[in-house]
C-alpha cells in the first residue's frame, strides 16, 4: 500500500482526490481551544505503547451530525468510500489517560454487577443494596439499567462505557490542549484530535444487556465468555470492546485494543473450526470475487479438509502499463506476502499478514458454518493504491464477508480454477501470480493430506 504522507503539501502535488490530512480543515477551529466536552461517548480504546502503562482512551463524537462515526457495519451498508469514512473519523476525539493494566482486579467487577429490585425485598435489604451502589457511585435501577453515574473512578467508567450497547451522553475534562492531527493504524480505525484526559463522567443511564451482565459475573474464563456471548449474537466489535477493557475472565485484565481485535477473531474462528472440521467435505471448486475500499478479493474454496492461506498482493492501478510497441499490458513485479495453516492449525503468530490473517479467517469460518461443509480456502487480497490510508483490519473482515455474499463461479477441476485465477489476475490486476501457485503451501500440500480425516 502506497501510504499517503505529508510531503506533497509542500508543493500541492497530492495525487489523491482529497488529502486526508487536509480534511482537518473541515473541523470547527473552536474545538482547538476547548478544555472540556459534553456529548456522545462512542467507544473506548486501550493503547499498547509503553505496556503495561498504557493510554486508555474515551472516544467522543464532536460532529453530532454524524451518528455513525464508529459503526463499520453502517459504513458498509451505506457504501461509504474512504473519504466519507475519514470525514467521520476526524471528528472522533481521542481523549486519553495513562493507567496501568493491573488497575483492574477480579474483585472490582463486583461493583459492576447490576441488581433487579423488582422482586419484593424488605426495606432494610433494599436500603443496603442502594447504599452499596451509592458507595460505588452506581445507583442501579430496574431492567439492568444503571442510573446517572457520578463515579469519578476512571477505570470503572471506562468499563461501564464499553459495556453499553449504544452511544451514551457524557462529559470529559481535558488536561492539555487539543492536538489537531489524524492518527492511522493498520489494526484500528483512524482517530481525529488527540488530547490528554483529566476525568470524565457518564451523564445518562447505561444499559447493560441482561445476558452480558450475567456472563461477565459468571465463573468463566475469557474465552468461554467470548464464545457464549457470540452465540447470543453479540458481534466481534462489541466483544473486542468489553474484552479489552477487562470485563471478561476469571482474572480480569486490561488488554490493548489491537491485541484484543486479533484475540477475539482468533478465538471465535477456532471455535467455529472445531465444528467445521467435523463437516463433510464440499464437492465443487468455488470462486468468489468482489472488492471493498480499494481491496480486491479472489476467494477460492477447494474440496478438501480444511486448510487456509491468505495471500496479500500489492498492486499499482494508477500506472499506465500499456506498452504501445508490444501492444499489450505490461505486468508489474509481483510483491506479495502470505501466511498459511494446515488442518491442525498454527501455533505461532501470522507475522507476514498479521491481524488481517485472523480477521479474514473469522469471516471464512462464518461462511463455512453457513454452508455446513469444509473446504481448503485460499484468499488472494489485491491491495491497490485506492486504499491509500490504513483504516484497520475491519476492512478485511467486512470485505471478505461482502465478497462471500456474491454468487460463486463453480468449477470441477483444480487446473481450470488455477488457470482462471491466473488469467483474471493478469487481465484485471496486471500481475502474474504464477509464483504463488508454485511456492504457496496450500497448493502444494502432499496428496496423502487428503486422507487426514480418516485418521482423526
- Residue 102: predicted pLDDT: 80
Q: Are 437 and 305 in contact (CB under 8 A)?
A: no
Q: Are 335 and 314 in contact (CB under 8 A)?
A: yes
What one-character-per-residue DSSP string does 408-451 give?
A: PEEES-HHHHHHHHHHHIIIII-B--HHHHHH-STTS--GGGGG
Confidence of residue 193 (pLDDT cuts 50, 70, 90): confident
Q: Residue 328: which residues within 8 A CB-CB, separation 6 or more?
A: 322
**Whether residue 220 has pLDDT greater than 80:** yes
Reference 195, options 225, 217, 174, 164; nearest CA is 174
298/400 Cα distance (integer angstroms): 9
Domain locations along the chain: 18-207, 277-455
Confidence of residue 379 (pLDDT cuts 50, 70, 90): very high
223/244 Cα distance (integer angstroms): 13
Confidence of residue 107 (pLDDT cuts 50, 70, 90): very low
Q: Model confidence over 54-67: pLDDT tens digits?
A: 999 999 998 777 88
Confidence of residue 26 (pLDDT cuts 50, 70, 90): low
Q: Are 342 and 320 in contact (CB under 8 A)?
A: no
What is the mean pLDDT of the segment spanning 159-174? 92
Q: Are 56 and 46 in contact (CB under 8 A)?
A: yes
Confidence of residue 138 (pLDDT cuts 50, 70, 90): very low
**pTM, rounded to two decimals:** 0.84
436/380 Cα distance (integer angstroms): 10
DSSP state of 82: H
Confidence of residue 328 (pLDDT cuts 50, 70, 90): low
pLDDT more than 90, % of the chain: 56
**Whether residue 440 has pLDDT greater than 80:** yes
Amino acid at each position: 500500500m502506497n501510504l499517503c504522507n505529508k510531503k506533497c503539501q509542500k508543493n500541492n502535488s497530492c495525487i489523491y482526490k482529497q488529502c486526508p490530512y487536509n480534511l482537518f480543515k473541515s473541523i470547527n477551529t473552536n474545538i482547538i481551544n476547548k478544555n472540556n466536552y459534553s456529548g456522545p461517548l462512542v467507544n473506548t480504546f486501550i493503547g499498547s505503547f509503553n505496556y503495561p502503562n498504557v493510554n486508555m482512551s474515551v472516544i467522543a463524537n464532536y460532529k453530532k451530525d454524524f451518528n455513525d462515526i464508529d459503526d463499520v457495519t453502517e459504513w458498509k451498508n451505506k457504501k461509504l468510500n474512504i473519504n466519507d469514512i475519514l470525514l467521520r473519523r476526524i471528528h472522533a476525539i481521542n481523549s486519553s489517560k495513562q493507567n496501568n493494566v493491573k488497575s483492574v482486579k477480579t474483585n472490582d467487577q463486583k461493583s459492576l454487577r447490576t441488581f433487579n429490585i423488582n422482586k419484593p425485598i424488605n426495606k432494610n435489604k433494599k436500603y443496603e443494596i442502594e447504599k452499596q451502589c451509592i458507595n460505588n457511585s452506581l445507583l442501579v435501577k430496574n431492567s439492568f439499567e444503571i442510573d446517572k453515574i457520578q463515579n469519578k473512578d476512571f477505570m470503572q467508567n471506562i468499563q461501564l462505557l464499553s459495556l453499553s450497547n449504544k452511544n451514551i451522553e457524557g462529559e470529559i475534562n481535558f488536561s492539555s490542549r487539543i492536538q489537531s492531527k489524524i492518527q492511522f493504524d493498520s489494526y484500528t480505525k483512524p482517530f481525529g484530535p488527540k488530547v490528554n484526559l483529566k476525568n470524565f463522567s457518564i451523564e445518562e443511564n447505561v444499559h447493560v444487556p441482561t445476558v452480558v451482565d450475567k456472563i461477565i459475573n459468571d465463573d468463566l474464563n475469557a474465552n468461554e465468555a467470548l464464545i457464549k456471548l457470540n452465540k447470543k449474537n453479540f458481534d466481534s466489535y462489541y466483544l473486542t470492546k468489553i474484552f479489552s477493557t477487562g470485563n471478561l475472565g476469571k482474572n480480569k485484565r486490561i488488554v490493548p485494543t489491537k491485541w484484543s481485535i486479533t484475540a477475539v477473531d482468533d478465538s471465535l474462528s477456532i471455535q467455529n473450526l472445531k465444528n467445521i472440521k467435523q463437516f463433510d467435505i464440499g464437492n465443487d471448486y468455488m470462486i468468489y470475487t468482489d472488492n471493498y475500499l480499494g481491496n480486491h478479493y479472489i476467494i477460492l474454496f477447494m474440496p478438501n479438509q480444511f486448510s487456509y492461506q491468505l495471500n496479500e498482493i500489492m498492486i499499482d492501478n494508477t500506472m499506465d502499463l500499456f506498452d504501445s510497441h508490444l501492444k499489450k499490458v505490461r505486468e508489474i513485479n509481483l510483491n506479495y506476502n502470505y501466511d498459511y495453516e494446515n488442518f491442525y492449525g498454527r501455533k505461532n503468530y501470522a507475522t507476514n499478514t498479521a491481524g488481517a490473517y485472523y480477521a479474514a479467517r473469522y469471516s471464512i469460518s462464518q461462511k463455512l458454518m453457513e454452508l455446513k461443509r469444509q473446504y481448503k480456502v485460499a484468499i488472494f487480497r489485491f491491495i491497490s493504491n485506492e486504499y491509500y490510508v490504513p483504516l484497520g483490519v475491519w476492512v478485511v473482515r467486512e470485505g471478505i464477508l461482502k465478497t462471500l455474499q456474491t454468487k460463486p463461479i463453480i468449477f470441477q477441476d483444480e487446473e481450470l480454477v488455477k488457470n482462471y485465477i491466473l488469467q483474471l489476475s493478469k487481465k484485471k490486476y496486471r500481475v502474474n501470480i504464477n509464483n504463488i501457485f508454485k511456492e504457496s503451501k496450500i497448493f502444494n500440500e502432499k496428496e496423502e493430506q487428503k486422507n487426514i480425516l480418516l485418521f482423526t
